[in-house]
Chain A
């Protein structure tokens, strides 16, 4: 999803990591983690699609950073069973904000040229799957001129749900409308999250949406 809708995220993420002294390069020869296939009831197809990524993670000497909370969680939860043992997946693969806050223990310092009022949306798989609750907020607070608003029922799902948005589009749309409503009520007109699926869903419901990496990069560049 990230590559389809938010192609600038990779560059932004590389830039942010560079700012804390970490060199990152895009993983070569991979396609997609395969979760859409798995969640559509086709685990064998998920295995086929995710195989190149599995091998790349296995063979990578460095930790692999994933720019989507749901993908990271899917890889960690299901790859061991889909591909048989092998790597200690919890040591090899991380979501972007998770990596910066928990692994690198770093702060990102920056400053936005124009003040911005944004809502951070805790994507479900990052929040409940990987268990990242406070860290993203703390991370974003390192950026000056960025005001994070408090959103009512902020942990409620945005309605994307991967295939859900295609199978039950009306319910998905309604959920997103409500989510966007709570964000606007909180005084923000832009939402920032670490999952492109959520961002796209909310964008389609009329809200400006930005990946965490993009926002951080904006702040770092000043």
Chain B
């Protein structure tokens, strides 16, 4: 349970990572501010989104049933998976013997370790999102949910491409991107299975909605014969009429764009294609049933909380040793992966509240973090108990002040 401490200290010692992170976050925040200033009813949109999510979760099973029925009516297949292992098994079975696999960026597939699972079983798998592609070539996990290699400088990318793709060393982002385009276009054309996540799914129309800038997700859903979309249970919204609210909130909060280059509203399968939706529980149902913590499931994965977090700014994403970094990561990780391994994360926060300010769904992340601290048993119970006994009485309090002054000076607190 010392991971964050160890990793954050290590991260502090890496000034180049800090520099890359710092300017990236600054720019994201500036863009976001401008994009939001344009929307006069931003606060009303946040309220509306929260209300939609609240309703969606309240009727979650009904919505999931509707979603399933609508997809199956068109000839698509829907699979429910309890946990990562089950999800991976289902997907592997679908992919077996169908040829190379290409993937769009999807946090849920990161969470279940899908790529590694498939590759270990002999499948050829290619990440197509540029950032994920670079991270995979580097053998590293992504460090941010919307900008996977925000922590890398271009020189590092240049070295990776030279080594893994055999191209001449270049630090020019245009040239590097062109190399990736050429390399991956071949993979797009020869792939048999395309795997994506799902930013939203819509119950009343059975739609799968995907946001992207690169075009790789559209290619992934269009070229291979088989499209597999993976989602966790809370990603369904009740009605297509709810969608515009999220189209307005997500890109502006995430990257400060009015809208991403491509928003796909799909009714799969496409003609001549095969479609599978894998719906994963993975610990969400437990959160759903927990009234106090339920709003953690309102998250639309925009990453705004991560971009504004002053702690993340210092440590970067890898210090959180989890698929999900930053404030939302500190909340989800102990709940999904256990307090035993991730109970250090709720303390990785000064509770400054900037994340709460910025969250488009107004998730009270600081309050959730404190609740998780409580549920994890709290800090050093014996020490705090002793301390609280002394401070319970005015006399004890006064007497201890002198001592406290000395101790804290000594401990530099």
Report whether B352 and A128 are in contact in the complex, using a CB–CB cutoff of 8 Å.
yes
- Which listed residue, A29, A129, A167, A174, touches B12 by the CB 8 Å rule? A174
- Which listed residue, A32, A42, A174, A178, touches B378 by the CB 8 Å rule? A42
Q: Given A42-B381, A170-B12, are A128 and B347 also a contact pair (CB < 8 Å)?
A: no
Tell me which residues across on chain B come within 8 A of A160, comparing CB atoms: 350
How many residue pairs link A and B with beta carbons under 8 A? The number is 127
Tell which of A4, A38, A164, A167 has the most Cβ of chain B within 10 Å. Answer: A4
Which residue of chain B lies nearest to A48 when distances are taken between CB atoms in the complex? B392
Report whether B405 and A167 are in contact in the complex, using a CB–CB cutoff of 8 Å.
no
Q: Name 13 interchain pairs, CB-CB below 8 A, sorted by A.
A: A39-B351, A41-B376, A42-B385, A157-B310, A157-B352, A159-B350, A161-B351, A164-B348, A167-B379, A172-B350, A174-B12, A174-B314, A200-B413
Tell me which residues across on chain B come within 8 A of A166, comparing CB atoms: 411, 413
Q: Is A76 an interface residue (CB 8 A)?
A: no
Which residue of chain B lies nearest to A44 when distances are taken between CB atoms in the complex? B388
Binding site for A on B (CB under 8 A): 4-5, 8-9, 12, 310-311, 314-315, 347-354, 356-357, 370, 373-381, 384-385, 387-389, 391-394, 396-397, 401, 404-405, 408, 411-413
Report whether A167 and B408 are in contact in the complex, using a CB–CB cutoff of 8 Å.
no
Tell me which residues across on chain B come within 8 A of A204, comparing CB atoms: 412
Top 6 A-B residue pairs of the complex, sorted by shortest distance between their CB atoms: A161-B350, A41-B378, A41-B373, A157-B352, A45-B388, A31-B397
Tell me which residues across on chain B come within 8 A of A45, comparing CB atoms: 384-385, 388
Tell me which residues across on chain B come within 8 A of A3, comparing CB atoms: 401
Report whether A157 and B350 are in contact in the complex, using a CB–CB cutoff of 8 Å.
yes
Interface string of A46-75 (1 = CB under 8 A from B): 101101100000000000000000000000
Tell me which residues across on chain A come within 8 A of B391, comparing CB atoms: 31-32, 49
Q: Is A30 an interface residue (CB 8 A)?
A: yes
Tell me which residues across on chain A come within 8 A of B408, comparing CB atoms: 4-5
Interface string of A85-104 (1 = CB under 8 A from B): 00000000000000000000
Which residue of chain A lies nearest to B385 when distances are taken between CB atoms in the complex? A45
Bound complex: CA A168 to CA B411 (Å): 13
Tell me which residues across on chain B come within 8 A of A30, comparing CB atoms: 394
Tell me which residues across on chain B come within 8 A of A38, comparing CB atoms: 370
Beyond contacts A31-B393, A170-B5: 18 other A-B pairs, Cβ-Cβ < 8 A, are A4-B405, A31-B392, A37-B384, A40-B380, A42-B378, A42-B381, A42-B384, A45-B385, A52-B392, A124-B351, A157-B350, A162-B350, A165-B413, A167-B379, A168-B348, A171-B348, A172-B350, A174-B12
Tell which of B348, B388, B391 has the most Cβ of chain A within 10 Å. Answer: B388
Tell me which residues across on chain B come within 8 A of A165, comparing CB atoms: 413
Shortest beta-carbon distance, A68 to chain B, in Å?
14
Shortest beta-carbon distance, B373 to chain A, in Å?
4
- Which listed residue, A43, A46, A129, touches B353 by the CB 8 Å rule? A129
Shortest beta-carbon distance, A3 to chain B, in Å?
6
Shortest beta-carbon distance, B36 to chain A, in Å?
16
Tell me which residues across on chain A come within 8 A of B376, comparing CB atoms: 41
Bound complex: CA A171 to CA B320 (Å): 13
Bound complex: CA A19 to CA B388 (Å): 37
Binding site for B on A (CB under 8 A): 3-5, 28-32, 37-43, 45-46, 48-49, 51-52, 124-125, 128-129, 155-157, 159-168, 170-172, 174-175, 178, 200, 204
Q: Given A31-B391, A32-B391, are A168 and B370 also a contact pair (CB < 8 Å)?
A: no
Tell which of B374, B377, B389, B391 has the most Cβ of chain A within 10 Å. Answer: B391
Which residue of chain B lies nearest to A128 when distances are taken between CB atoms in the complex? B353
Tell me which residues across on chain A come within 8 A of B388, comparing CB atoms: 37, 42, 45-46, 48-49
- Which listed residue, B9, B310, B353, B379, touches A40 by the CB 8 Å rule? B379
- Which listed residue, A28, A40, A46, A161, touches B352 by the CB 8 Å rule? A161
Bound complex: CA A81 to CA B382 (Å): 25
Bound complex: CA A161 to CA B347 (Å): 10
Tell me which residues across on chain A come within 8 A of B378, comparing CB atoms: 40-42
Report whether A124 and B352 are in contact in the complex, using a CB–CB cutoff of 8 Å.
yes
Which residue of chain B lies nearest to A73 when distances are taken between CB atoms in the complex? B353
Tell me which residues across on chain B come within 8 A of A129, comparing CB atoms: 353
Bound complex: CA A29 to CA B354 (Å): 35
Which residue of chain B lies nearest to A169 when distances are taken between CB atoms in the complex? B412
Shortest beta-carbon distance, B18 to chain A, in Å?
9
Tell me which residues across on chain B come within 8 A of A37, comparing CB atoms: 384, 387-388
Tell me which residues across on chain A come within 8 A of B356, comparing CB atoms: 128
Q: Given A37-B388, A42-B388, A157-B354, are A4 and B311 also a contact pair (CB < 8 Å)?
A: no
Tell me which residues across on chain B come within 8 A of A159, comparing CB atoms: 310, 350
Shortest beta-carbon distance, A131 to chain B, in Å?
11
- Which listed residue, A32, A52, A175, touches B310 by the CB 8 Å rule? A175
Shortest beta-carbon distance, A189 to chain B, in Å?
21
Q: Given A45-B388, A170-B12, are A163 and B413 also a contact pair (CB < 8 Å)?
A: no
Q: Given A40-B373, A41-B379, are A167 and B394 also a contact pair (CB < 8 Å)?
A: no
- Which listed residue, A40, A51, A161, touches B384 by the CB 8 Å rule? A40
Bound complex: CA A35 to CA B394 (Å): 17
- Which listed residue, A4, A43, A168, touches B404 by the CB 8 Å rule? A4
Report whether A170 and B8 are in contact in the complex, using a CB–CB cutoff of 8 Å.
yes
Which residue of chain A lies nearest to B377 when distances are taken between CB atoms in the complex? A41
Which residue of chain A lies nearest to B374 when distances are taken between CB atoms in the complex? A41
Tell which of A43, A45, A155, A172 has the most Cβ of chain B within 10 Å. Answer: A45
Bound complex: CA A157 to CA B378 (Å): 23
Shortest beta-carbon distance, A54 to chain B, in Å?
12
Bound complex: CA A4 to CA B409 (Å): 10
Tell me which residues across on chain A come within 8 A of B4, comparing CB atoms: 168
Report whether A41 and B9 are in contact in the complex, using a CB–CB cutoff of 8 Å.
no
Which residue of chain A lies nearest to B13 when distances are taken between CB atoms in the complex? A170
- Which listed residue, A32, A128, A175, touches B354 by the CB 8 Å rule? A128
